[in-house]
Amino acid sequence: MADIRACLFDLDGVIVDTAKYHYLAWKRLCNELGFDLTEEENESLKGISRVESLNILLKKGGVELSPEKREEHLVRKNGWYLEYIDAMSTDEILPGVLDFLKAVKASGRRMALGSASKNAMHILEALDLVSMFEAVVDGTKVTCGKPHPQTFLIGAEAVGTAPAHCVVFEDAVAGVDAALAGGMYAIGVGEQSVLHKAHKVIPGFDGRGLEIFDEI
């Protein structure tokens, strides 16, 4: 049985599904640049930083931009994305998540958020979840994105817990890889076929409680 003392959560796809808003914003940008982006192609951007996502898309579309134009497009994409999430409410917290977070908190385990998003605090505020986490490590606080373990290592340090006693909840392969590279347990949230490298995979938090720590 794993001795879990801290839980580190990814944001998009684990606590809330903002992927649809990222997709709409990226698709809008791609369309302006002269090519399209399908939902299937958007899957490859999960867990990837904004800058790297743009690099992938520009390569896909065969578009070359100056550093200044790249930055301009990143700002525009983020502005569209923020318009979408500004309209979010607590109703968009994924099923079972709030109850699970409350149970973890009541158990005395530490909790931190580890997300590639630079808008993590903005989203947590919209969902009224800021008080749930002792630390929020987002894209503004790291120099190496997932699958590098830096995000989760900073999170573990922030809550004073050794990596060996941390479990990471992730919906992306890059995030699972980051957790494992950091010497942590990984619970995948999604499809077994995709997240099979995790110690355990669950479809979601609905109906799940602290017994999950006995299963890894």
pLDDT in tens, 11-58: 999 999 987 898 999 999 999 999 999 999 998 887 788 899 999 999
- 135 found inside a domain: yes
In this structure, the answer to whether residues 132 and 102 fall within a common structural domain is yes
CA torsion angle 84 85 90 95 (round to 10): 80
Q: What is the dihedral of CA 144, 137, 199, 206, to 10 degrees?
A: -140
Asked if residue 33 and residue 102 are part of one domain, the reply reads no
Does residue 190 form part of some domain?
A: yes
Examine the fold and report which residue of 85, 109, 143 is the final residue of a domain before the chain moves on. 85
Do 181 and 101 lie in a common domain?
Answer: yes
CATH number assigned to the domain comprising residue 27: 1.10.150.240
- What mean pLDDT is predicted for residues 82-109? 95
Residue 130 in any domain: the answer is yes
Q: Are residues 48 and 56 in contact, defined by beta-carbon separation less than 8 angstroms? A: yes
| 140, 174: one domain | yes
Indicate the Cα dihedral angle 132, 102, 172, 20, nearest 10°. -80
pLDDT tens-digit readout, 75-91? 999 999 999 988 899 99
Same domain, 47 and 98: no
List of E strands, 85-184: 110-114, 135-137, 166-170
Rounded Cα distance between 213 and 216, Å, is 6
Number of domains the chain is built from: 2
Of 69, 85, 101, the one marking the end of a domain is: 85
Residues annotated as part of the active site: 10, 12
pLDDT confidence bin for 2, thresholds 50/70/90: confident
| Residues 141 and 53 occupy one common structural domain | no
In a domain, 42, yes or no: yes
Residue 10 belongs to some domain of the structure: yes
* Distance (Å, whole) CA 216 – CA 209: 13
Q: Is the same domain home to 40 and 117?
A: no
Please indicate, yes or no, if residue 1 is contained in any of the structural domains: no
Tokens of 72: 């301009």
Beta bridge partners of 8: 112, 168
Q: What are the Cα distances from residue 110, in Å, to 38, 69, 77, 189?
A: 38, 42, 34, 20
CATH of the domain at 147: 3.40.50.1000
Shared-domain flag, residues 101 and 206: yes
3-state secondary structure of 205: coil
At 140, give phi and psi (nearest 5°): -85, -10
Same domain for 75 and 134?
no
For residue 116, name the pLDDT band (cuts at 50, 70, 90): confident
Residue 127 in tokens: 């969902």
Residue 80 in any domain: the answer is yes
Domain boundary among 59, 85, 111: 85
Pair (12, 25) in one structural domain: no
Domain of residue 72, residue span: 19-85
Q: Are 129 and 191 in the same domain? A: yes
**168 has which bridge partners?**
8, 186
How far is the C-alpha of 151 from the C-alpha of 63, rounded, in Å? 30
pTM: 0.82
Q: Percent of the chain at pLDDT above 70?
A: 99
Domain check: are 95 and 112 in the same one? Answer: yes
Q: How many residues does the chain have?
A: 216
- pLDDT for 125 equals 93
Q: Which residue is it, tokens 């979010």?
A: 88
Mean pLDDT of the chain: 95
User: What are the residues facing 112 on neighbouring strands?
Assistant: 8, 135
The answer to whether residue 45 is domain-embedded is yes
Question: How many angstroms separate the Cα of 130 from the Cα of each of 65, 125, 134?
Answer: 37, 6, 9
